[in-house]
């Protein structure tokens, strides 16, 4: 799914053509009404790619659902346009799912262009994890399994393991699992759609795995950095919808309410900091 990231998208598609020609049955780009010529670039430079030109920005979840509905493969590789394949990364994911039929999805290590690793895997945002994070307690001991539990600062991502929720910036999903869940919930247009999807995968009995032996380069925020203020608000709204969907009525109401209050306070604080900094 692409929105105004033409040059990142160009690099992404070129990397797929160079490193995964035998692994990908098809490549599908869903362009959400980009204004930077992204769609024209794809049509001109990558005629073998299936291109959908949406008249408006339908959102990340809907874009992925649209692309998945048009795909024919046994596995679906969800990719942000600001990613770039390294060596045999796609083959590593495909071979893992071939060998592990109970795995519903698999993610790889994401790295910055300079090779630094990214903390691209988090635990599910349980009430405890969210409160510790938004109250700033995680900064006291980021490597603690309790205080640093949400961002998993205690883990160096050096070993393969089953995980809660990796970023969907690069995620290979078994088609049967995707169809069983009905794809992404479009009520989460930008943020927390991947968290919700991973959460529902776990509830449905599918495992999600992380593999460190292969990599994708990830530029981080190729689209969202263009509208930072709006994305802060959308992120907190996504969290609140996630809680309404998965925790309301399942945790004490005082805990549920506290999470929402702390989230809104954190959102206001982030917006205020950006305004004060002139960003």
Tally of CA atoms within 13 A in the half-sphere of 124 that contains its CB: 18
- Residue 166: which domain range? 6-120+157-223
Residue 279 binned pLDDT confidence (cut-offs 50, 70, 90) = low
Which among 58, 69, 2, 54 has a CA at the least distance from the CA of 187?
58
- Would you state the pLDDT for residue 39? 97
pLDDT above 80 (res 64):
yes
Residue 102: both structure tokens together: 């109970």
In a domain, 274, yes or no: no
Put simply, whether the predicted model's pTM sits higher than 0.85 gets the answer: yes
- Would you state the pLDDT for residue 162? 98
In a domain, 260, yes or no: no
What is the average pLDDT across 47-51? 96
pLDDT tens column, 105-122? 999 999 999 999 999 999
Is 104 in a helix, a strand, or coil? strand
Tally of CA atoms within 13 A in the half-sphere of 241 that contains its CB: 18
Q: Higher-confidence residue: 224 or 69?
A: 69
Residue 20 binned pLDDT confidence (cut-offs 50, 70, 90) = low
Q: What angle do CA 269, 274, 278 make, to 5 degrees?
A: 150
Name the average pLDDT for the chain: 92
Distances in Å between the alpha carbon of 6 and those of 29, 47, 81, 111? 12, 15, 8, 20
**Residue 244 phi, psi (nearest 5):** -60, -40
In a domain, 128, yes or no: no
In a domain, 51, yes or no: yes
DSSP character at residue 2: B
Which among 110, 93, 104 has a CA at the least distance from the CA of 20?
93
- Would you state the pLDDT for residue 126? 94
Rounded to whole angstroms, how far apart are CA atoms 83 and 222? 9
What is the average pLDDT across 116-135? 94
In a domain, 112, yes or no: yes
What is the average pLDDT across 244-264? 94
Residue 143 binned pLDDT confidence (cut-offs 50, 70, 90) = very high
pLDDT above 80 (res 273):
no
What is the average pLDDT across 240-268? 94
Neighbours of 226 (CB within 10 A): 13
- Would you state the pLDDT for residue 231? 86
In a domain, 136, yes or no: no
Which among 129, 147, 142, 163 has a CA at the least distance from the CA of 247?
129
Task: Give the chain's count of helices (H) and strands (E).
Answer: 9, 10
What is the average pLDDT across 230-235? 89
In a domain, 264, yes or no: no
Percentage above 90 pLDDT, the chain: 86
Cα separation of the two ends of the chain: 26
- Of the listed ranges 20-24, 32-36, 46-50, 199-203, the least confidently predicted one is 20-24
Q: What angle do CA 40, 190, 1 make, to 5 degrees?
A: 25
In a domain, 241, yes or no: no
What is the average pLDDT across 39-48? 96
- Would you state the pLDDT for residue 17? 84
CATH of residue 194's domain is 3.90.550.10
In 97-183, which ranges are E strands? 103-111, 121-122, 161-162, 165-166, 170-174
- Would you state the pLDDT for residue 164? 98
In 120-246, which ranges are E strands? 121-122, 161-162, 165-166, 170-174, 207-218
pLDDT tens column, 5-17? 999 999 999 999 8
Percentage above 70 pLDDT, the chain: 95
Which among 216, 220, 217, 208 has a CA at the least distance from the CA of 92?
216
Q: For the chain, what is the domain count?
A: 1
- DSSP codes, 236-253: HHHHHHHHHHHTTTTS-H
């Amino acid at each position: 799914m692409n929105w105004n990231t033409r040059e990142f998208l160009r690099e992404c598609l070129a990397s797929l053509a160079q490193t995964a020609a035998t692994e990908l049955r098809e490549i599908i780009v869903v362009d959400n009404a980009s204004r930077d010529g992204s769609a024209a670039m794809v049509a001109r430079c990558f005629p073998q790619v299936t291109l959908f030109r949406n008249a408006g920005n339908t959102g990340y979840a809907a874009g992925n659902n649209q692309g998945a509905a048009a795909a024919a493969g046994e596995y679906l590789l969800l990719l942000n346009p600001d990613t770039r394949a390294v060596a045999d990364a796609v083959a590593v994911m495909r071979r893992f799912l071939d060998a592990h039929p109970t795995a519903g999805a698999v993610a790889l290590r994401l790295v910055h262009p300079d090779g630094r690793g990214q903390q691209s895997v988090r635990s599910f945002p349980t009430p405890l994890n969210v409160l510790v994070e938004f109250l700033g307690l995680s900064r006291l001991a980021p490597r603690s399994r309790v205080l640093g539990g949400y961002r998993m600062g205690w883990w160096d991502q050096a070993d393969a393991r089953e995980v809660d929720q990796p970023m969907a910036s690069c995620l290979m999903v078994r088609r049967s699992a995707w169809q069983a869940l009905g794809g992404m919930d479009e009520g989460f247009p930008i943020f927390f759609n991947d968290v919700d999807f991973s959460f529902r995968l776990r509830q449905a009995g599918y495992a999600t795995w992380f593999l460190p032996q292969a990599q994708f380069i990830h530029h981080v925020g190729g689209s969202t950095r263009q509208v930072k203020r709006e994305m802060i608000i959308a992120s907190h709204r996504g969290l609140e919808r996630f809680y309404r969907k998965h925790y309301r009525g399942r945790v004490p109401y005082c805990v549920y309410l506290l999470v929402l209050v702390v989230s809104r306070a954190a959102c206001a604080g982030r917006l205020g900091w950006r305004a004060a900094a002139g960003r």
